[in-house]
Structure 1
Amino acid sequence: MQVFGAVLFFRIDEKSRRSKGKKRNVKRIGEQFEFDQAAENSAIDAGFSALKVRGKKWGRLSKERIGLN
């Protein structure tokens, strides 16, 4: 009977560890996603800034070519 109780306790403990591990993994994935999202957002912002600057430079160059500037 004690062996059965030990096996039962081991299985319950194993399930508990699995669920805690899954929760931990989900939390890590969530943190990683937030980090990736922040990095992606800053990269997008930097890309837009670069496009704006490039656009202004190209605009200036084309105006100079046409003689508008």
Structure 2
Amino acid sequence: MKVGRWLHTRFRVNDLDRSLYFYTQVLGLKEVSRSTSPRGSTLVFLQSSVGGEMLELCHYPTSGPVHVPADLI
């Protein structure tokens, strides 16, 4: 099966402000949408100026920190 279209990719983040700084100020993405999900997480959609695909940052502070295995760092 081949992918016909890629809409967005979600990253769950511990620190939304720090993540937004990186993706907007360092990588140059633009914030195009922000909302709160029914479960209380903050969802921020970012997009580059050249593509339609989006990056979604999901911040859900009450679920605890995101743990990344050492072999992925």
The structure richer in helix per residue is 1
The structure richer in strand per residue is 2
Give the TM-score taking structure 1 as reference length.
Answer: 0.19
Higher relative contact order (CA 8 A, sep 6+): 2
